[in-house]
Structure 1
Amino acid sequence: MLRAGFEFGLWTILNLVFIGTSVTALIMAAMAREDAYRAADKKTKSFWLVILGVTVAVNLFLSVLFLSIAGLIATIVFFVDVRPALRQVSGGGRRRGGSSSDGPYGPYNGGR
């Protein structure tokens, strides 16, 4: 009885984590510009929207462990590889209003 409750609780927590990460990745993929995907030499925006959308649907409706893990791998690939490349291409890594010579504590002027 206790073991069955623990397994159900653990699976529920994992499923919520899978759903949260895949929904977050889907939103981030939808917010990026189409030309940024081409400039970063990644698959197209529609490709990532379909993959991540299927991942969200699988996690919400099917709840099959193998498919959930495959979707989690696709989500991790998006977060680790695609998103940083998109941010670099679109200039998302810099702060707004700052210049390229700004350091973590303000502008860097080379000691002048």
Structure 2
Amino acid sequence: MYLLLDIAYNFPIYFFQVLTIVAIIGAVLAASTREDAFRAGDRKGKWVWVGLLAGSAVAMATGLEFLAWIGTVITGIYWFDVRPQLKAIINGDYSY
């Protein structure tokens, strides 16, 4: 019983800790992606996305909820919009 209450009470903390790890992984993946894929996808540059994702990880790790939500949005945009398009471009699937 107390375990469930503890999880429910600390859910935002756990949620942002997981998303911090996801943002760090995204920054590493963005850093390992070819620069020309970002230009071909008409996206911001490679190092801009690495900086945005690293900044998002720092913002989510601070514990300030407003900054953490901004970092969550940036991380979500990378994972659900930018990365699928870059993968399609790199794999030669230009249907995106």
TM over 0.5: yes
Aligned twin of 2:26: 25
Task: Report the AA paired with residue 43 of structure 1.
Answer: K
How much identity, in percent, do the aligned residues show?
A: 27
Task: Report the AA paired with residue 91 of structure 2.
Answer: G
What is the count of residue pairs matched by the alignment? 89
- TM-score, normalised on structure 2? 0.80
SS in 2 for 1:43: coil
- TM-score, normalised on structure 1? 0.70
Aligned twin of 1:35: 36
Larger Rg: 1
RMSD (Å) for aligned C-alpha atoms: 1.9
How far did 1:92 drift?
A: 7.2
Structure 1: distance between partners of 2:12 and 2:89: 38
Residues 17-71 of structure 1 show CA distances to partners (whole Å, capped at 9, x for unaligned) of 22122112111111111111001111111110111111111222x2111111111
Cα pair 1:40 1:89 within 8 Å, conserved = yes
Structure 1: distance between partners of 2:51 and 2:32: 14
Structure 1: distance between partners of 2:73 and 2:16: 14
Write 1 or 2 for the structure with the bigger share of helix: 2
SS in 2 for 1:42: coil
Structure 2: distance between partners of 1:17 and 1:57: 13
Provide structure 2 residue ranges, at least 5 long, that are not aligned to the other structure: none
Aligned twin of 1:51: 52
Aligned twin of 2:80: 80
Cα pair 2:30 2:49 within 8 Å, conserved = yes
Provide structure 1 residue ranges, at least 5 long, that are not aligned to the other structure: 94-112
